[in-house]
Amino acid sequence: MKYQNNPQDLSISYKVKTYTELEKLFNLKDDETPMFHFMLSLLGFKHGRRVDIKTTDSSSDKARDFSLRTIYPRNESDMDAYYGLIAILDNTELDYNQVVNQIAFERTAVNNTPFLKMTNVRTFYEYMLGGIEFLEEGILCDGPYPERVAVLLHQYLLEDDSEISDTLAQLIAEEGVL
């Protein structure tokens, strides 16, 4: 029996202008949204930036809506993996079985929790907002100019910092896979 998730649409009112600039800068298409959100979530996690999904800021005069009711069913397995990975990374201090069985792959049909209130989904989007914040301060600091952003992203990617890789390797090693 496959337990279903009943997705809800997400509306953010934090760093909307920055998100819109990133969308234009990277020329995102609808089918690229889940992977882009995952990248933002990883950046937010890596830099310890987690922003409540209900947070608003003065630079956002209107909300940005994401139609998860249509995006999620088309990308269910990928998005479940993204939600699960971020939840696992965020809960390394807890028992692995508890994290995997009760948090990372939580489903709305199992516990009747609304989609955006499930720990895995909420955590993912909170780190996504943190990733937007990080990119705004670190990569878009000189504006959304493609050449400058490319240089800053290149520098960032060349940094010798592998915290997430180390964490993933440790988790895999604990499972006895390596």
- Note the pLDDT tens digit of each residue in 66-75: 999 999 999 9
pLDDT of residue 162: 61
Q: Hey, is 167 helix, strand or coil?
A: helix
Contact 64, 85 (CB under 8 A): no
CA distance 54 to 173: 36
* Residue spans of the chain under pLDDT 70: 1-2, 160-168, 171-172, 174-178
CA distance 99 to 159: 30
Cβ atoms within 10 Å, residue 95: 10
pLDDT of residue 157: 75
pLDDT of residue 52: 96
CA distance 61 to 157: 32
| pTM of the predicted protein model | 0.86
pLDDT of residue 29: 87
- Note the pLDDT tens digit of each residue in 88-120: 999 999 999 999 989 999 999 888 899 999 999
Closest by alpha carbon to 125, among 12, 23, 15? 12
CA end-to-end distance (rounded Å), the chain: 31
